């Protein structure tokens, strides 16, 4: 097999790099788009499957659980056997799981589908950025990562527009099966142009099964414990999960072939600060679609497609800025660009905190512009700084860690939102008489996001300058 570190295939066939980028961008658009578009179908799903407010909030959260528990093992396996097969399994598996929606007849069955989508999406996210970082290791890495970032956030934010249209015209199930045909293009391009980077001459290292199981257990306990507070059982799960975090760190430090070498991570200031900034920014970002979808449809009376069109503004701005920010991060210090992005993002949430039930839609538009500018400036420079600080043979696990920070941030913030939904709305469908309570949930969610993104600015600025790794 041809190793990425040699890069001879791509030197002889420079156009192949861009076909690889197209495949990755399609997958990184398709998966987040399929996941986020479900937010526009939530009211329709609630009516069709008779889901209460708590079960409704589990629909986006179930995917987070699925995507987070396999990230570190998938990244480790990809470094062991090669990134190409893991990536292909992820894309094909996600597509197959999405088609199961035809058999769904209850909200519990739908949650299982969402878990399966999350599990396979973790294989895609654990390898995609690593493939791009390796293929473009010589030049244009920031630009290429900018396009991948654009794909992710365009997918996340175009999802509501596409999901709203599909829900209105083809029914809520089409949100799952409609986009899957596009995945075949990504599979074909990946099969032809991605060269597997497995080095047959390199001694194989075993997977840390104990660490993998510990990671699954602590992730599950933290999510279920945090989202179920203040019940006693939830407190027990949360405390046990926190305890397992310390057990996991100690086990990884003792393991000969760990999932993560925490000693190296602690010593890499650029990497660990980038991960913290990523965790906090994604904790701020993920509930936006969920909260704005409920606010605009329930309190403002917009249709699913109108809601999607409104939120598309943020995606457009991010799509324009992310490649530009990536190119700038190849030339200038990434932390400065990313930090400015964090501050813009925080300002956007500060505007949203003052929403009222009868607020003008211009109020939402101003906030979406600030959010789009903020995330467009943050995402690519942050990823470029992190991936540029590790050696090439650790790119998969570094990519997995970045995506772990993303999904764990998502999971943390959605657990907080679920807690608010549970305490203020309870186990009943959202009716007009409960709209004041829904507005309180929305405002508290945006206030929390404002705090997260402001703290992210501190970690982003204090990461220090990037020293590129070459081996």
Question: Which of 54, 103, 102 is CA-nearest to residue 224?
Answer: 54
**CA angle at 149 for the pair 115 and 308, rounded to the nearest 5°:** 65
- Do the beta carbons of residue 264 and residue 241 sit within 8 Å? no
Residue environment code for 197-212, b if the CB has 16+ CB neighbours within 10 A, otherwise e: bbbeeeeeeeebeebb
Displacement of CA 444 from its chain's centroid (Å): 22
In the block, residue with structure tokens 């050696």: 391
The helix/strand/coil state of 353 is coil
DSSP 196: P
Per-residue confidence (pLDDT) for residue 414, from 0 to 100: 78
Displacement of CA 379 from its chain's centroid (Å): 11
- Do the beta carbons of residue 226 and residue 70 sit within 8 Å? no
Structure tokens at 178: 């409609």
List for the chain the helix, strand, coil content (%; round to 5). Answer: 80, 0, 20
Per-residue confidence (pLDDT) for residue 197, from 0 to 100: 64
- CA within 13 Å, CB half, 155: 20
Angle of helix 53-69 relative to helix 71-81, nearest 10 degrees, comes to 30
- Do the beta carbons of residue 210 and residue 56 sit within 8 Å? no
Q: Can the peptide bond before residue 243 be classed as cis, meaning omega within 30 degrees of 0? A: no
Domain boundaries, the chain: 8-207+257-461
Q: pTM surpassing 0.85?
A: no
Q: How far apart are CA 402 and CA 399, in angstroms?
A: 5
Q: How far apart are CA 97 and CA 104, in angstroms?
A: 12
| Range 8-207+257-461: architecture per CATH | Up-down Bundle (1.20)
Helices (H) and strands (E) in the chain, counts: 20, 0
Q: How far apart are CA 440 and CA 418, in angstroms?
A: 13
Q: What is the pLDDT along the chain (471 residues), one digit of tens a residue?
A: 333 444 566 666 667 888 888 889 898 888 888 777 887 787 788 888 877 777 777 787 788 788 778 877 887 788 778 888 888 999 899 888 888 888 888 888 888 888 898 899 888 888 887 788 778 766 676 778 778 877 877 787 677 778 888 888 888 888 888 778 888 888 888 888 887 665 555 556 777 888 889 988 988 888 778 766 677 888 899 899 999 989 988 888 888 888 777 777 777 888 888 899 989 998 998 788 788 888 888 888 888 778 877 877 887 887 788 778 877 877 777 888 899 999 999 999 999 999 888 888 899 999 999 998 998 888 878 887 887 777 766 666 777 788 778 777 877 887 788 778 877 877 667 778 888 888 898 899 999 999 999 999 999 888 766 554 444
Residue environment code for 20-41, b if the CB has 16+ CB neighbours within 10 A, otherwise e: bbbbbbbbbbbbbbbbbbbbbb
- CA within 13 Å, CB half, 427: 1
Q: Can the peptide bond before residue 178 be classed as cis, meaning omega within 30 degrees of 0? A: no
End-to-end CA distance of the chain: 19
Q: How far apart are CA 123 and CA 85, in angstroms?
A: 10
């Amino acid at each position: 097999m041809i190793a990425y570190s040699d890069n001879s295939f791509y030197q002889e066939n420079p156009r192949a790099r861009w076909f690889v980028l197209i495949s990755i961008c399609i997958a990184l658009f398709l998966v987040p788009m399929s996941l986020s578009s479900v937010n526009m179908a939530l009211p329709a799903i609630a009516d069709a499957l008779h889901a209460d407010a708590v079960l409704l909030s589990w629909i986006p959260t179930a995917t987070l659980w699925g995507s987070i528990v396999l990230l570190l093992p998938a990244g480790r396996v990809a470094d062991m056997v090669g990134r190409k097969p893991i990536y292909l399994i992820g894309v094909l598996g996600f597509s197959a799981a999405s088609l199961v929606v035809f058999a769904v007849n209850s909200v519990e069955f739908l949650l299982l589908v969402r878990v399966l989508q999350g599990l396979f999406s973790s294989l895609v996210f654990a390898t995609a950025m690593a493939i791009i970082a390796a293929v473009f290791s010589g030049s244009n890495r920031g630009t290429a990562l900018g396009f991948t970032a654009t794909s992710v956030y365009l997918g996340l934010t175009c999802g509501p527009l596409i999901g709203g249209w599909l829900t209105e015209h083809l029914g809520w199930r089409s949100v799952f099966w409609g986009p899957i045909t596009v995945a075949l293009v990504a599979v074909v391009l990946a099969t032809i142009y991605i060269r597997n980077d497995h080095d047959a001459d390199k001694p194989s290292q075993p997977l840390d099964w104990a660490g993998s199981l510990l990671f699954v257990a602590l992730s599950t306990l933290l999510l279920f414990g945090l989202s179920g507070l203040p019940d006693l059982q939830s407190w027990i799960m949360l405390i046990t999960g926190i305890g397992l975090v310390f057990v996991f760190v100690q086990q990884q430090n003792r393991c000969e072939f760990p999932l993560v070498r925490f000693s190296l991570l602690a010593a890499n200031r650029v990497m660990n600060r980038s991960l913290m900034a990523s965790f906090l920014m994604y904790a701020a970002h993920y509930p936006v679609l969920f909260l704005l979808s409920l606010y605009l449809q329930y309190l403002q009376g917009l249709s699913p497609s109108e809601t999607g069109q409104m939120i598309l503004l943020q995606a457009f701005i991010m799509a324009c800025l992310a490649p530009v920010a990536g190119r700038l991060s190849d030339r200038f210090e990434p932390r400065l660009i990313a930090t400015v992005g964090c501050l813009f993002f925080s300002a956007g949430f500060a505007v949203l905190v003052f929403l009222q039930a009868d607020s003008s839609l211009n109020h939402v538009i101003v906030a979406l512009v600030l959010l789009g500018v903020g995330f467009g400036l943050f995402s690519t420079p942050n990823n470029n700084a992190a991936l540029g600080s590790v050696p090439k043979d650790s790119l998969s696990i570094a990519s997995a860690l970045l995506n772990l920070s993303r999904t764990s941030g998502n999971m943390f913030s959605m657990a907080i939102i679920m807690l608010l939904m549970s305490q203020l709305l309870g186990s009943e469908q959202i009716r007009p008489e409960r709209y004041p309570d829904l507005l309180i949930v929305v405002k508290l969610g945006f206030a929390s996001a404002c705090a997260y993104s402001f703290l992210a600015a501190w970690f982003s600025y204090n990461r220090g300058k990037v020293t590129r790794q070459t081996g």
